[in-house]
A and B are shown apart, each in its own frame.
Chain A
């Protein structure tokens, strides 16, 4: 890890998502303490970690919602420039919050975000996305009338509406019942199409590992452990996780 590094990605191998020594401080609190990562197109990174490890801050930095105190983030080789907006077309974010308007219908919410992204084929795209998250029959329902699971699925449809290359997911399984989790699992599995790069933060070890090609455990703002899916399958991951979090590995 190189907290002060800000070197741009190599021109020959351009990762879909790269972070170079990103640090995020909130006054005296260091939420992200120098993380480097490089993900090729099609990779799926799952980040585990205890509460307060800085996982959501990491996603905020990768999505451009937060400005790094130090370091840089590159998406498809382009450094995140907070004065520009074009790179935001390449990123889709599912946060703790759904970014939805309760008084608008499902379709109106998606149409609004679609217009912000300059999409012109919304009449065909919105029904497709709603079908993918099993909400096709609720397109005229107000969001305020939907269950938590439905809102979460709609938030995912919103995050994927513009077909982003990089998808960032913050605790997508929180509060979902088994059937809603199954729908979400199907959609997330569909993201592993070799074209998209996904970073998912979760406490759900089973779901997280099932989808991941890369795994990291974040503790006190740093990646305390990183490995591939094969590395994870070679060990008792739950035991490893507890050892890493407790500082014994």
Chain B
């Protein structure tokens, strides 16, 4: 078991180290998040709608679209010099490869998600609400569900000529539960509603994340094997 966890850790460590060196994905996702918040800020007529009422939905749309920029490039890291082939030919179970990549994507997207919330609080005058830890948990579970499916479909689309177009078409319909329950929990928490009101949403996000990780772990080998 420790060898298995070591292999997952090695893959996640390598991906994060590559990101630290190149900063390709975090910069793209972070820049998108900031620009989206600025544009949303100017697109709202504050005499008609209160930013707080739609902020949570915009936060999650920004996370999803911005996250796609990073998650979609998961396997571009491996394309140069055939590195993915080297990983696939090593004695690492395919599900460990999937979990390692999901873990590194989760770290990156979670950082971006926190940035998105901070930027929207700045531009939309929103406050952290009654329970910042629950807000952090909702973001974490939503991000985990997203990256689990995103990593799987990034592997599918990386092997096709239309990969970057194909990825959102495959992925977005499956992300509806993340948007619904993530935005529901985030909206309530940011508007100061009691934590008891979001427990159901948090459970649904946790269940979705669990199912996405399990499904990805099982299906990944069928995507990457010859």
B89 located at the interface, meaning its Cβ lies under 8 Å from any Cβ of chain A in the complex? yes
Which single residue of chain B is at the shortest CB-CB distance from A61?
Answer: B226
Contacts A103-B18, A104-B14, A108-B17 given: A117-B90 contact, CB under 8 Å?
Answer: yes
Q: Which residues of A contact B10 (CB under 8 A)?
A: 112, 115-116
Q: Evaluate contact between B93 and A85: CB separation under 8 angstroms.
A: yes
Against A, the Cβ 8 Å flags (1 = close, 0 = not) of B6-40 are 11011101100110011000000000000000000
> Which chain B residues in 60-94 approach chain A with CB under 8 Å?
77, 80-83, 85-93
> Least Cβ distance of A51 to chain B in Å?
19
Which single residue of chain A is at the shortest CB-CB distance from B7?
Answer: A116
Secondary structure of the B contact surface, majority rule:
helix
Q: Evaluate contact between A99 and B91: CB separation under 8 angstroms.
A: no
Q: Evaluate contact between B81 and A98: CB separation under 8 angstroms.
A: yes
> Least Cβ distance of A12 to chain B in Å?
28
Interface size for B (C-beta < 8 A) is 28
A106 located at the interface, meaning its Cβ lies under 8 Å from any Cβ of chain B in the complex? no
Bound-state CA distance A97–B83 (Å) is 8
Which residue of A67, A86, A95, A118 contacts B85 across the interface (Cβ within 8 Å)? A95
Q: Evaluate contact between B91 and A88: CB separation under 8 angstroms.
A: yes
Q: Which residues of B contact A82 (CB under 8 A)?
A: 225
Q: Evaluate contact between B225 and A65: CB separation under 8 angstroms.
A: no
Contacts A65-B226, A99-B85, A118-B7 given: A104-B18 contact, CB under 8 Å?
Answer: yes
Q: Evaluate contact between A89 and B85: CB separation under 8 angstroms.
A: no
Bound-state CA distance A115–B22 (Å) is 22
Interface size for A (C-beta < 8 A) is 31
Q: Evaluate contact between A64 and B225: CB separation under 8 angstroms.
A: no
B3 located at the interface, meaning its Cβ lies under 8 Å from any Cβ of chain A in the complex? yes
Q: Which residues of A contact B18 (CB under 8 A)?
A: 101, 103-104
Which single residue of chain B is at the shortest CB-CB distance from A115?
Answer: B10
Bound-state CA distance A65–B7 (Å) is 19
Q: Which residues of B contact A87 (CB under 8 A)?
A: 91
Contacts A65-B226, A101-B14 given: A115-B7 contact, CB under 8 Å?
Answer: yes
Q: Evaluate contact between A118 and B91: CB separation under 8 angstroms.
A: yes
A91 located at the interface, meaning its Cβ lies under 8 Å from any Cβ of chain B in the complex? yes
> Least Cβ distance of B137 to chain A in Å?
31
Contacts A115-B10, A118-B6 given: A100-B81 contact, CB under 8 Å?
Answer: yes
Q: List 8 A-B contacts (CB under 8 A).
A: A63-B89, A99-B85, A100-B81, A101-B77, A101-B80, A101-B81, A116-B7, A117-B90
